[in-house]
Structures are given as C-alpha cells and as structure tokens.
Amino acid sequence: MTSIKEQAAISRLLSFLHQWDNAGKVVRSQILNNFIENNEGKTGPELEQEFSQGASLFLIRLTTWLRVTYMTGFALEKILRSIGIFLSAVSSNRYLIEFLEIGGVLSLLEILGLEKIKEEDKKESIKLLQIIADAGRKYKELICESYGVRAIAEFLAQSKSEETQEEVQILLESLVHGNPKYQNQVYKGLIALLPCASPKAQQLTLQTLRMTQPVVGTAHPSIVDCVLKVLGTMHLEVQYEAVELIKDLVYYDVRLPLLKGLVALLIPPVKETSKLQPKILTDTSILQLTTRVPVFLQQAAAAKTIGILARSQLSLAEEMLHLRVVHSLMAAMGNTDHSNSQRLASLTLEFFVKTFPVVEDHVRKSMGEDLYQLFQSNPEELYTKIDSIQADILAANKVNVSEGERGV
C-alpha cells in the first residue's frame, strides 16, 4: 500500500499533467517558464522526485507538443530548453532514449532548415544536438544517418549569428571524434562548406578542418581547389586559417597538387584579368579598384604562403623550384595593378635568391644589373621602376592605337 505522502505526490503529478493537457498556448508557456526556473541543473533522480517518479510523462508531452508546433515557432525556445533540462540531467539516459524513440533528432534537424524560425530557437536546437552527440558513438551515428551533417552544415553557412555559428562548430567537432563510421562524411561536408559566402563560417570551417584532418588521416583531393579559392578572400582572419590549413596539408598526399596550385596562382589566367585591361588603359583611377579583384588577392596570398612554406622546410622550397616558382614570382612582381602582390612576391623571391645561388644567377640575368641591384637594396624603389617601365609601355600602346585610328 502507498503511504499518504506518496498518494499526495501522485495526486499533485496528475493535477499538473491535467493542467497541461487542458491548457492553451499562453498557459502552457507560463508552465514552461516555471519549469525552467525551478528545475534547471537538476539531476535525473531529482527530476523524478519532483514529478513523483513520473517525469517521463511530462517529457513525452513536451516532445509531442514540439512535433506538433515547431513549424509555427510558438514558445519554441522554451520547449527546447525544457527538453534540454531532461536530456542534460545527470543519470538521465532513459530520457534521452525516450526523446529519440519519438523522433526527436529529426525534429531538431528540421528546425534548422525552416526559414521562419528565429535564430535563437535554432541555437537551442543545436545545443540539444550537442547533448545527443556527446552521449556516445551510436547517437552520433543516428544524427549522421538522419542526414544531419548536411542540415547542420547548411545552417552554419546561412546563420547570421557568430555565437550560434560557434555552437555549430562545437557540434561538428563532436561528430568527428569517436565516430569512425561517419567521420569522412563530416570531413567532406566541411570541405563543401568552404565556398560559402559567410566569412565567419569559412573561418570556423577551416579551423575545424585542421582539427579533423589528423582524425581522418588522408586528404580528399577536392580540398585543394577549395582551400586555394579561399585565399581570394578580403578577410585576413579567413586567409590566416587557410594558410594554416595549407601548412598542414603539405604533409598529406595532396602535397604536389597543392604546391602546383599555389605556384599557378602567381600568374592569374588571362581570361580573369583581360576584362580589366580596357579600363586600365583609359582610366588610371581604376587601379584602385583592382586591389579587390579576387585573382589578385589570391596572387598576393599565394606569394606569402609560398614564402612561409619555403622558410619552414627546405625540401618544400626545392620542390617549388622544380615547379618554376622563381619565374612565377617574377611575373607577380610585375603586377603593377596590385602593389601587395609585388611586395609579397619580392619578399619570397628574396628568400629563394639568398638560399639558392643558382636562383641568384638566374634572377640577376633576367632583371638586368640595374634592376637587380634595386631588388637587393630597395624593393620599394624597384616597384617605382617597374611602374615607370609599365607606364612607358602603356603610353607607347596608346600612341600606336591613335596612329592606327588616323590611318583608318
């Protein structure tokens, strides 16, 4: 027989559940406020005591209401926070299983893709997915099997809140560790994120890729083009992370294509720069705008990265010599449309000249004695000299064009 105290507790539970079942949206929202305020941080046994060993009955109601109303967004943050109290409680594995059995993971992932849902609500969904992923390997696999990697990655790319994006990064890192069956899926999802339009998402993705690469063990070939394209960014914090990732990738099986790609960026394709030429010939003010052309930003970043790699390991410098890096650096120094390319290419070329005598002889012959002495003593003056030579060539072209027009 139950004691009078136990009967009173059961009576309070039934009364509470009856109140919930018969309440409208406004009253339920108030109930959630009280629940969050009074129960946040409690353990599983404490929640059971609070609900007279019937806490699961309230969790089932919360999950059911979530599935019915999440598309409307009403009180969604409160519902998710209330569910989080159950899932995050110590000794609460039974609550987690009950939530998953009702399809909780699918609901959380669907919330991420709904346009009308507020960012704060989606952040709470991410936090619940973190709790689930941290519970163990089988739970991480469940998220991945539910097409979770794609949903999470797309949300990271679209999110406008840096705080929320950082929460997503934590989740993705969790899905990589202790998840051998799907770690490659997460890795490829991160690579696919690199071309996204959000600088913060790119920065976090690059950081996560650096952490993921040793776990995966091998580099996917598609990472080369993706990370090289990121070098064209105007955001220095993103470029820094890209360079750091490249420094790691040269020790994997994409080393050669990565080095080839970097050297190739020093000489942008003609089709990328030819569209600038007519305006450059007629309007010198346009030179100020060309600093923002991604190919020139890539060129400057490639020159800097090549210098970093060459200084870090002599064998990398020697490999790049075979890829005609000296010729490409000298071509980048001649880019009068982007002074940063000239400067960084000059600094990197200076390292090769001082390190390899054969390079010094080649550069001296190519530049001529006067330009080479300027290169050695005063790079800034060398840029002025190059600009002057380029200006003479452009002026000669204009004369030829005007004479040709008079002939016609």
272 has a pLDDT exceeding 80: no
Determine the average pLDDT of the residues in 36-58.
94
Least reliable range by pLDDT among 195-199, 231-235, 302-306, 380-384 = 380-384
Summary count for the chain: helices (H), strands (E): 25, 0
Determine the average pLDDT of the residues in 27-44.
95
209, 245 contact by CB (below 8 A): yes
Determine the average pLDDT of the residues in 263-281.
69
Taking the C-alpha atoms of residue 165 and residue 169, their distance in angstroms, rounded to an integer, is 6
* Segments making up each domain of the chain, as ranges: 220-399
Share of the chain above pLDDT 90, in %: 75
Residue with the bigger pLDDT between 379 and 118: it is 118
Determine the average pLDDT of the residues in 143-147.
97
Residue with the bigger pLDDT between 366 and 229: it is 229
List Cβ neighbours of 35 (8 Å cut-off, separation of 6 or more): 82, 85
388 has a pLDDT exceeding 80: no
Determine the average pLDDT of the residues in 293-317.
95
282 has a pLDDT exceeding 80: no
- pTM recorded for the entire structure: 0.86
Determine the average pLDDT of the residues in 392-397.
45
Give 197-234 pLDDT, tens digit per residue: 999 999 999 999 999 999 999 999 999 999 999 999 99
Share of the chain above pLDDT 70, in %: 86
Tokens of 398: 């204009």
337 has a pLDDT exceeding 90: no
Give the per-residue pLDDT at 381: 55
Give 396-408 pLDDT, tens digit per residue: 444 443 443 333 2
Taking the C-alpha atoms of residue 156 and residue 112, their distance in angstroms, rounded to an integer, is 10
List Cβ neighbours of 197 (8 Å cut-off, separation of 6 or more): 157
248, 216 contact by CB (below 8 A): no
Give the per-residue pLDDT at 294: 85
265 has a pLDDT exceeding 80: yes
